[in-house]
């Protein structure tokens, strides 16, 4: 199914259509291809301007790969990534060659997961944050330093630290450096790949607040890749849930958390530990049996059927398509309408 929103809705800045990213598995002396890991397999979604779309799922479900396809760090196997330029023209990023992409590399930027491995230890902050400015705007000397100083200040770092190396900074500060680097070219879309996962609670709150401030200030659109559902609920306007390379549900945050329509979303929400001992859900928590399917050898039919509580014959053979069940709520489940699923517990009801 194609959603085709970008044609109708002027507010849609990015639309992914039938995106596939298959990595070949090679074996033997001749490196013959013996199969494919279908890391991303036929996914569709769209992002509106100035909104935050969360991409959640367990490790290995393809959420990072999707993010990397969008910044074109990978060459997708098939599909389209439609991007609306600032002059309203829609272009397909998949078709572009490296040279033509340069223009978009400054508009779509990425904040990486691990603040330790994503900063070159031999470069000073000036070099790290200034690099995109040198490449794209040819800035040098005093001019460059001024811009970097301004950026560092904007993300809450002292400009005097410009000549220091990353090792002198803590995890939270390094993540700020990564954010400054991503924002250096005033991008329109930022892919934040697990950008708060490696941080401590108190620092995580600082970075989340910073991301929100920056979004308001620079009118940013975020694609927020994360596995922590409480963080996603906090920062995202809409959420897309992925399972083994497929999108299983996409809806606005409140609907998804309160009225999930896909059994996997239900299980995922129920597995989140709630930070309130009075809400202990030991007895009624849904614990998924078994393991996440292997994307190289996915099960037949619906990929989730071996672990699903509501599985029926049809699920084993027929693959459900992602369909709209009203109000921009997309689900890939044959029985989305019939099932009554449990969302996040309503606190008031429970305490009272």
Partner 1 sequence: MNTNNLLLEVKGLKTHFFLDEGTVRAVDGVDFTIERGKTLCIVGESGCGKSVTARSILQIVDPPGRVVDGQMLLHLRRKGSNASEIEDIIDLAKLDPRGVPIRKIRGKEIAMIFQEPMTSLSPVHTIGFQIMQAIQLHNTVSKQEARNQTIEMLRLVGIPKPELRVDGYPFQLSGGMRQRAMIAMALSCHPSLLMADEPTTALDVTTQAQILDLMLRLQNEMGMTIMFITHDLGVVAEIADDVAVMYLGLIVERGNVDTIFNNPQHPYTQALLRSIPQVGPKARQRLDSIKGMVPDPYNRPKGCPFHTRCVKRIPGVCSKVLPQTVKLSEDHEVRCLLYGGNNHEGAL
Given a contact cutoff of 8 angstroms between Cβ atoms, the answer to whether 6 and 12 are in contact is yes
Indicate which single residue of 291, 318, 324, 337 sits in contact with partner 1 (rule: CB under 8 A).
291
Q: Which of 139, 144, 135 is nearest to 163 (CA)?
A: 144
DSSP-based three-state secondary structure for 252: strand
Distance between CA atoms of residues 222 and 109, nearest Å = 10
Indicate which single residue of 1, 34, 73, 279 sits in contact with partner 1 (rule: CB under 8 A).
279
Stretch that binds partner 1, among 118-126, 146-154, 295-303, 341-349 (CB under 8 A): 341-349
For residue 19, CA distances in Å to 22, 24, 321 come to: 10, 16, 14
Q: Which is nearer to partner 1, 33 or 213 (CB)?
A: 213
Q: Which is nearer to partner 1, 123 or 203 (CB)?
A: 203
Query: Could you tell me which residues come within 8 angstroms of residue 12 by beta carbon, excluding any fewer than 6 positions away?
Result: 5, 6, 46, 47, 48, 49, 84
Given a contact cutoff of 8 angstroms between Cβ atoms, the answer to whether 93 and 72 are in contact is yes
323: part of which helix (H) or strand (E)?
A: strand 323-324
Q: Which is nearer to partner 1, 45 or 304 (CB)?
A: 304
231 binds partner 1 (CB under 8 A): yes
Indicate which single residue of 276, 300, 312, 317 sits in contact with partner 1 (rule: CB under 8 A).
276
Under rule CB under 8 A, which residues in 53-72 are in contact with partner 1?
A: 58-59
Residue 287 is classified by DSSP as P
Distance between CA atoms of residues 256 and 344, nearest Å = 9
Q: Which is nearer to partner 1, 14 or 269 (CB)?
A: 269
In this structure, the number of other CB atoms found within 10 A of the CB of residue 233 comes to: 18
Q: Which is nearer to partner 1, 17 or 204 (CB)?
A: 204
Minimum separation from the CB atom of position 24 to partner 1 (A): 22
Binding mask 153-192 for partner 1 (x = CB under 8 A): -----------------xxxx-------------------
310 binds partner 1 (CB under 8 A): no
Tell me which residues touch partner 1 (CB under 8 A): 58-59, 170-173, 200-206, 208-209, 212, 227-231, 233-235, 253, 257, 267-282, 285, 287-288, 291-292, 344-348
């Amino acid at each position: 199914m194609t959603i085709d929103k970008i044609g109708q809705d002027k507010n849609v800045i990015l639309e992914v259509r039938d995106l596939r990213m298959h990595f070949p598995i090679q074996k033997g002396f001749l490196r013959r291809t013996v199969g494919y890991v279908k890391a991303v397999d036929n996914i569709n979604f769209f992002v509106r301007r100035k909104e935050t779309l969360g991409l959640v799922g367990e490790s290995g479900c393809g959420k990072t790969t999707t993010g990397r396809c969008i910044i074109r760090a990978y060459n997708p196997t098939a599909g389209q990534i439609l991007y609306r330029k600032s002059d309203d023209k829609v272009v397909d990023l998949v078709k572009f060659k490296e040279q033509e992409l340069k223009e978009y590399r400054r508009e779509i930027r990425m904040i990486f997961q691990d603040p330790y491995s994503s900063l070159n230890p031999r470069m000073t902050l000036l070099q790290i944050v200034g690099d995109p400015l040198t490449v794209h705007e040819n800035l040098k000397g005093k001019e460059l330093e001024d811009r970097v100083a301004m950026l560092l200040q904007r993300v809450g770092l002292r400009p005097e630290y410009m000549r220091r190396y990353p090792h002198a900074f803590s995890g939270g500060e390094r993540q700020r450096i990564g954010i400054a680097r991503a924002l250096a070219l005033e991008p329109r879309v930022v892919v934040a790949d697990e950008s708060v996962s490696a941080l401590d609670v108190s620092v995580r709150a600082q970075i989340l607040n910073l991301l929100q401030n920056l979004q308001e200030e620079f009118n940013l659109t975020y694609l927020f890749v994360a596995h922590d559902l409480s963080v996603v609920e906090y920062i995202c306007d809409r959420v897309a849930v992925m399972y083994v390379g497929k999108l299983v549900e996409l809806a606005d945050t409140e609907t998804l958390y309160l009225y999930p329509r896909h059994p996997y979303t239900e299980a995922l929400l129920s597995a989140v530990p709630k930070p309130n001992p009075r809400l202990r859900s030991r007895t009624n928590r849904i614990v998924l049996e078994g393991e996440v399917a292997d994307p190289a050898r996915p099960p037949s039919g619906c990929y989730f059927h071996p672990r699903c509580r509501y599985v029926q014959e049809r699920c084993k053979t027929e693959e459900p398509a992602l369909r709209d069940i009203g109000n921009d709520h997309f689900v890939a489940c044959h029985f989305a309408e019939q099932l009554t699923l449990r969302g996040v517990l309503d606190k008031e009801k429970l305490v009272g």
